[in-house]
Amino acid sequence: MLNLLARFWDVDEGAVRIGGVDLRDMSEGQRAGMFATVFQDTFLFDDTVAGNLRIAKPEATDSQLETACRAAACHDFIEALEQGYDTHIGENGQLLSGGQRQRLAIARALLKDAPIILLDEATASVDPESEFEIRTAIASLCAGRTVIVVAHKLRSITGADAILVFENGSLVADGRHEKLLSDCAVYRRLWNAERAAREGAVPAGQGAEYDKTIS
């Protein structure tokens, strides 16, 4: 779905429209300015931290980079690198952890400041402590924007205005979290399974604050 919205793929039938306009009728520049993407597989260049951030906004000042990185909860770890924002991070950011790469991608999306965020929810395979940091960054990214999320953890979308439930490639239900828990057996089953699996997964010392952040 995100690939269709970003027009990495095209539909075989029908159309994908934003504000009533077919994406195929928009210029590449219009589409590029409309979306910022944060996918699980974060692509980073063999460049400095600052160079990777400025892919989103080449004219960004050092102050703007720092503001975006503070909002994405990555300024502190960047400052701890040998040369801070001027540190080369290696091909695809190999010098960084998975959680750090994700937060850098979120900072890049913040810097772009597009009205629509395409988010392949980034916490499916990170440890609980990294998840806490990523959730904080995502909260900053979502403020005041339209966000379309592919969720791997349902708890991350309980506050969404609309949740679409797919099973075997077909849409089986849509609605808010409370309605789906009540009316959709598929969603209820997934929610109960996730809830059982995360028992005891809260990072030590974070308790209620962690629970508040990821709800």
Is 210 among the domain residues?
Answer: yes
Are 44 and 99 a contacting pair, CB within 8 Å? no
pLDDT one-digit tens code per residue, 37-89:
988 888 899 999 999 999 999 999 999 999 999 999 999 999 999 999 999 99
The residues pairing with 36 across neighbouring beta strands, listed in sequence order, are 117
Supply angle C-alpha 57, 59, 60, rounded to 5.
70
pLDDT one-digit tens code per residue, 21-40:
999 999 989 988 999 998 88
Same-domain status, 175 and 139: no
Give the 3-state secondary structure percentages of the chain, helix then strand then coil, rounded to 5: 50, 15, 40
pLDDT one-digit tens code per residue, 131-186:
788 888 888 888 889 999 998 789 888 989 999 999 998 999 999 999 999 999 99
Same-domain status, 139 and 58: yes
Same-domain status, 138 and 119: yes
Are 35 and 112 a contacting pair, CB within 8 Å? no
pLDDT one-digit tens code per residue, 73-86:
999 999 999 999 99
Domain that holds residue 92: 2-152
Same-domain status, 82 and 140: yes
* CATH number, domain with residue 15: 3.40.50.300
Supply angle C-alpha 31, 33, 39, rounded to 5.
80
Q: What is the predicted pLDDT for the residue at 127?
A: 67
Is 158 among the domain residues?
Answer: no
pTM: 0.79
